[in-house]
Structures are given as structure tokens and as C-alpha cells.
Structure 1
Amino acid sequence: MTPLPLPALDDLLGTARVVALPLATRFRGIDVREALLFEGPEGWAEFSPFTEYGDAEAATWLAAAIEDAWMPRPAPLRERIPVNATVPAVAAASVPRVLERFDGCRTAKVKVAEAGQTLADDIARVRAVREAMGPEGRVRIDANGGWNVDEAERALHALAEFDLEYAEQPCTTVEELAELRRRVKYMGIPIAADESVRKAADPLAVARAGAADLLVIKAQPLGGVRRALETVAEAGLPAVVSSALDTSVGLSMGVALAAALADLDYDCGLGTASLFTADVADPPLEPDAGSLPVGRITPVRALLDEHAASTDRVHWWRERLARCHAVLQGGR
């Protein structure tokens, strides 16, 4: 694919807005999600690599945002995208309150292996989700690479009674995933790879190693919708499109990716606007009867103003954008 000509930095900064959106429940170690939004010829796009990421990694997210704002999205193959509920590493008693925020979702992804928690906490949380979802609901877990192989094997044995749809990134490395997949194959719990795809120098290594049954893909970390589609096609594995805790603007890019996939066998992890107590769109891109509509999102100016980040954080994000733009410029 021919690279998109890089817009001038001033063209990005000229419309850039930085927002700070509060979360209903602490998630991924944060209570507030920051994002930088800008507008291009095709509409608004989002640049929101997590703050701990270095410029080289974050530049890939910027490439995705530029593509989304400057190029038409691929033609959709479907009009709505089914999505899952996302349950942070909350106490079991809080599970019903979390699930109430996800209208009509038939699938729930449950965070496990949280630092400072125990396997008993995970079991209680997953049990509460299974009870809330009923026998027909689908329950998947996400460890974010938090276990070693032995810990993951023990955890999957303990959680197997809850009829898991799959286990996402139970271990960190491709080698560990391959070993775990070999050990638990008889249990019938598929292994999904997330960080081993989006944070890898070679996103196809996990497929070549036979280390996963499916891929979890995210548009921003993979460099945009088109690059993500290429990754799925080359990997030859089923894919689940997920979010990076985006605003509704960024989520709409993920929806566009899911809409363009040839096959969409799993509910997608794109319902995460329901984890926020505020957003930049009105209404926000939240699940309605368990799915999201396909289409671009234009932020509401008043909401951009209301949820604007502090002056020092705006400065931080604008400088980060400039550094990442320089990284992209140097690579062309």
C-alpha cells in the first residue's frame, strides 16, 4: 500500500483538541482517559496512545489517525457491529452494576490477573459475570499478559467451569502462548493474542508460531484500518476488533475496521464508551441492543470545551504529536 502523504504538522495542530474523560470505574490503572482529536478532509480522528508509550510506538497510532482523517474509510460490509460488555477488575459484587451500562450485550469480557489481586478474586468475578449473563451468554477473559505459563494453566483449569469463549493474552510472549496453547488444547479454550499482535515488531509472528487461535486487533496500534485488514488477511486467523479505551471518535474507526472485515465471527470489544461518564459525542457511541452503528463521529464543540484537558496536559500532548510527526517524517 502506498503511504499517505504526510500532512504538515501545522495542519494537525490547527484543529487539535485535547480532552480528559473520566471513567466510571478505574480501568487499566487510570481514572481519566486523555486523547487528542484533530480534523482532516474526511472528518475527525483520534490520536491517543497511552501515556507510557514511547514516541516510536506512539507514531504508529498517529499514522492511523492521519489515515482516518485524510482518507475515505473502506466500504462497509455490514451496517451494525455486535459488541461485548467489558468488566474491569472489580469486586464480584460490583459486576451487575457494570453490566447494566452495556445495553443488550450478549457477550462479556472480564479482566483478570490484575496486579495486587488473586486467582480467587478472578474466579469470583467471572462467576458473577456468568451468573448475570446466564447459560446462553458468552464469557471471555483478558489477562493482559499477567500470568506465566504455569499460572495461566492453573487459572484456566479453575475458570473452565464457566464455559469460557476464549482467553485473551494469558501470557506475555509468543513462546509462552504457544506452550500454554499446547498444554490446554484438550480443554477446548481458544487462546487469543492481543499485545502479541499490536505491540510486536512482527504482528504475524504469533500466527506463524501457532501460538493463538484468534487475533484481537485494534486500529490505532496497528497503524490504521487498512494495515489492520492486511494483518488479518496475512495471519489467516479469525479476528476480534477491540478498542484502546478510545473516545467515540476513535471507536468509530474500530467500527469501520470491523465493518470491513470479510468475516466477523465474534462480538467486538468496541462498547467501551460505556466505561466513561462523559464523552465528546452526543449521544456517545455506546451499545444499543448489543451493537453499534457504522459511521463517522463528529465531536460536539461544547463537549470538547467542557472536557478539555488542563493547559499543561494540552501542551504535553501537542509536543508529543510534534515528536511523533517527526518520527513519521523521518521514516519516509
Structure 2
Amino acid sequence: MGAAIPGAGRLPGLDELLDAAHVVSLPMRVKFRGILHREALLLEGPLGWAEFCPFPEYGDAEASRWFASALEAGWQGFPEPLRASIPVNATVPAVSADRVPEILARFGRVDAVKVKVAERGQSLADDVSRVAAVREALPDAKVRVDANGGWDVPSAVDALTRLADVGLEYAEQPVPEIAGLAEVRRRLRSAGTPLLIAADESVRKEEDPLKVARAGAADLIVVKVAPLGGVRRALEIVAQAGLPAVVSSALDTSVGIRAGLALAAALPDLPYACGLGTVSLLAADVTRDPLVPDDGAIRVREVSADPALLAEHAAAPERRDWWLDRLRRVHAEYIKSLEFTGSSSG
């Protein structure tokens, strides 16, 4: 075959992957990232189930990191865990304030909540009322907000100054650019609002995931296994960044959440609740025993996809073809990256 998973033995052939692929479309309980169905391609490797589900708008080069993460899960296995249970936060999408209690009820007891803000088509008043509703429902919880880079610098400073009144743990990716993160952080501190700034997209979507740490643009980083290329690669990035880390999901099935738990379990320090409770946002899953929070945490354990659920939620034929074609392209991209790394290091 001429290629291997770095540090791990054989790379499965393309035909093997295509034959074993299951493509599912899972309904969402509420619109999230603008979607009402989450599509994913699942594979069963010799060491466990793996998930490949980069969002459709991601190019093949970026998606190849998600493929590397799937190979780790199914063909390499995860590092030894340092903890058996992972504290998680609830996630409140950009819903109206009156829906907040309904959303929170799906997570059970939690000590932390992430609230989506800066949704396109909504106003700051919508954000303020949503965050206030969370605080009213959970007066003692740690509340964090996530703007997904939806503001510019002046809007972010204004919004976070107002939202900070409810008591925020941190603000995640208020603006899209690293320089903007640094400026928001500086302005808030100058104005006497020393709110912690977390970087997400500025870690996982940058060619250099350590750039944000070197720029002093964030107080902590949000790391997601699949976009960073697997658990081991994410551990390296956290170690090199030298910043506290929050492990989050990319709206995964329980198979993908298992990889996130593996990362959170292997980190030397885990100072914040993790964003790994997002299976609660799905109206269906691929396993009969989903990885959802119990008393504010998820136990680290293996998960297997159920054949009947894979069949029940199988994507339409045209969508299956789309994902298989994408797998072919991304597999080729991954092989090319291995060959390039081999030639440049040899």
C-alpha cells in the first residue's frame, strides 16, 4: 500500500473504507449552525467505530484532518485516560428566551452552560434576553457565550460589556481574526471588564494553530478532536500553546463524542467543563446507549453504532454518493500529505 498511519501500523485501503462506510442523516431538535439534519459518515475499524463528518462547506485539505482523526479512532486507538468522567456544559443554541428552559431540561443537572450569541439576523437584545434567561434558570451555573466570530471589534466590546453583567466565565471567539481577538481583549481590560477570551476557530481553522497563543490573543483555547487531526495531535497543540483548554465537539454523533472524551480524559489538566454534551441537541443517534450527560458529566466508555439505527437513519442515496465521493477525494488528499511529509523529512 505504501503508506501507514503515522506511529500506528497499516492504513486501510480506499476500497475497504468505501465498503464499510455508513452515511447517516440525523434530525436535530433545534436548528444549530443553520442546519436541521446532521450528516455523518461512520466506519468500523479493528479498534472501534470512527466518524468522518466535516461540514459540507469545508474543503478537502481541511477535511483531511477529520479523516486523520477517524483513522486514529478506528485503526490506532486512543491514549490511556487520566480520568474516568468528564464534566460537560449544556449548550443553548440561538433560540428565543422563552425556549431556554426547554433546551436546558434536555441536559439534566449541569454546572456550566454555553450560550450561542451573534446569530445572523438576530439583535444584541436577543442575545441579552437569552443569556438572562439562562442565568435566571441556573443562578449558580457558570455561563459562557460563543459568538463564532460573528461580531466586529466595536460590536464585540459593546456586546460583551453588556453581557458581562450577568457574570460570564468567558467569551468564545467574539471576532473572526486573531488580531481582533487581541484587540477585544485589550479594550475590555482597559475599560475595567477583564473578561476571559477563548479562541476556537482561530485554533482549528488556522494553518498554524499555535498562532493565537503566540499573539497573546486569548486566555484559553477550545480544541476539537476531528478538526485538529485526532486526539494525539490535539494534545500536542495544547501542550505547545501553554494555555488552559476546553474540549468541545463539532456536533458529533456519540461515535464522535467518544473521541472528544478521549482527549478530555488524556489532558494533564482539565480546568473547565467541556462542550461534549451536544448529543442532547440531536433527535436521534447511531447507538442505543448515547453519550449524554448524567449529573453534569459523561463517563468515558466505548460506544458502538447499532446496525438497525444506521439503517433507520441512512442518508438518501444521492447524499450517500456525495459523501463517498468526498471520502475518495479526502483519502487521496491524506495520502498526498503523507507522501509530502515523508519526502520533506527524508
The TM-score, its normalising length taken from structure 1, stands at 0.98
Q: CA deviation at 1:14?
A: 1.9
Report the 3-state secondary structure (helix = DSSP H, G, I; strand = E; otherwise coil) of the residue aligned with 1:150: helix
Report the 3-state secondary structure (helix = DSSP H, G, I; strand = E; otherwise coil) of the residue aligned with 2:54: coil
Task: Report the counterpart of residue 79 of structure 1 in structure 2.
Answer: 84
Counterparts of 1:295 and 1:256, CA distance in 2: 9
Q: CA deviation at 1:323?
A: 0.3
Counterparts of 1:121 and 1:105, CA distance in 2: 23
Among residues 270, 273, 282, which one is paired with 1:267 in the alignment?
A: 273
Counterparts of 2:149 and 2:87, CA distance in 1: 25
Deviations 1:268-291 (A, max 9, x none): 000000001100011211111111
Among residues 170, 175, 179, which one is paired with 2:174 in the alignment?
A: 170
Task: Report the counterpart of residue 341 of structure 2 in structure 1.
Answer: none
Task: Report the counterpart of residue 130 of structure 1 in structure 2.
Answer: 135
Among residues 274, 282, 290, which one is paired with 1:284 in the alignment?
A: 290
Task: Report the counterpart of residue 43 of structure 1 in structure 2.
Answer: 48
Counterparts of 2:77 and 2:289, CA distance in 1: 23
Task: Report the counterpart of residue 114 of structure 1 in structure 2.
Answer: 119
- Alpha carbons 1:141, 1:167 under 8 Å: kept: yes
Counterparts of 1:288 and 1:170, CA distance in 2: 30
Counterparts of 2:77 and 2:317, CA distance in 1: 33
Task: Report the counterpart of residue 155 of structure 1 in structure 2.
Answer: 159
Percent identity for Structure 1 against Structure 2: 60
- Alpha carbons 1:252, 1:297 under 8 Å: kept: yes
In structure 1, give the amino acid aligned to 2:106.
R
Task: Report the counterpart of residue 232 of structure 2 in structure 1.
Answer: 226
Report the 3-state secondary structure (helix = DSSP H, G, I; strand = E; otherwise coil) of the residue aligned with 1:14: helix
In structure 1, give the amino acid aligned to 2:118.
A
Task: Report the counterpart of residue 101 of structure 1 in structure 2.
Answer: 106
Gaps of 5+ in 2: 339-346
Report the 3-state secondary structure (helix = DSSP H, G, I; strand = E; otherwise coil) of the residue aligned with 1:280: coil
Check if 1:64 corresponds to 2:76.
no
Task: Report the counterpart of residue 150 of structure 2 in structure 1.
Answer: 146
Among residues 236, 244, 248, which one is paired with 1:238 in the alignment?
A: 244
Task: Report the counterpart of residue 21 of structure 1 in structure 2.
Answer: 26
Deviations 1:124-161 (A, max 9, x none): 00000010111x21100000000011000000111011
Among residues 16, 40, 51, which one is paired with 1:11 in the alignment?
A: 16
Task: Report the counterpart of residue 192 of structure 1 in structure 2.
Answer: 198
Task: Report the counterpart of residue 324 of structure 2 in structure 1.
Answer: 318
Q: CA deviation at 1:3?
A: 5.2
Q: CA deviation at 1:97?
A: 0.2
The TM-score, its normalising length taken from structure 2, stands at 0.94
Report the 3-state secondary structure (helix = DSSP H, G, I; strand = E; otherwise coil) of the residue aligned with 1:104: coil
Counterparts of 2:7 and 2:115, CA distance in 1: 37
Counterparts of 1:311 and 1:175, CA distance in 2: 44
Q: CA deviation at 1:6?
A: 2.9
In structure 2, give the amino acid aligned to 1:178.
A
User: Compared with structure 1, are the counterparts of its residues 2 and 311 closer, same or farther at alpha carbon in structure 2 (3 Å cutoff)?
Assistant: closer
Counterparts of 1:13 and 1:38, CA distance in 2: 9
Counterparts of 1:107 and 1:116, CA distance in 2: 26
Q: State the superposition RMSD in angstroms.
A: 1.0
Counterparts of 1:126 and 1:11, CA distance in 2: 47
In structure 1, give the amino acid aligned to 2:179.
E
Report the 3-state secondary structure (helix = DSSP H, G, I; strand = E; otherwise coil) of the residue aligned with 1:227: helix
Counterparts of 1:248 and 1:9, CA distance in 2: 24
- Alpha carbons 1:6, 1:329 under 8 Å: kept: no
Check if 1:179 corresponds to 2:183.
yes
In structure 2, give the amino acid aligned to 1:62.
F
Report the 3-state secondary structure (helix = DSSP H, G, I; strand = E; otherwise coil) of the residue aligned with 1:127: helix
Counterparts of 2:327 and 2:298, CA distance in 1: 29
Stretch of structure 1 that moved more, 283-292 or 200-209? 283-292
Counterparts of 2:121 and 2:128, CA distance in 1: 15
Report the 3-state secondary structure (helix = DSSP H, G, I; strand = E; otherwise coil) of the residue aligned with 1:25: strand
Task: Report the counterpart of residue 54 of structure 1 in structure 2.
Answer: 59
Report the 3-state secondary structure (helix = DSSP H, G, I; strand = E; otherwise coil) of the residue aligned with 2:20: coil
Report the 3-state secondary structure (helix = DSSP H, G, I; strand = E; otherwise coil) of the residue aligned with 1:331: helix
Deviations 1:98-149 (A, max 9, x none): 0000011111100000000000000000000010111x21100000000011
Counterparts of 2:145 and 2:132, CA distance in 1: 12
Gaps of 5+ in 1: none
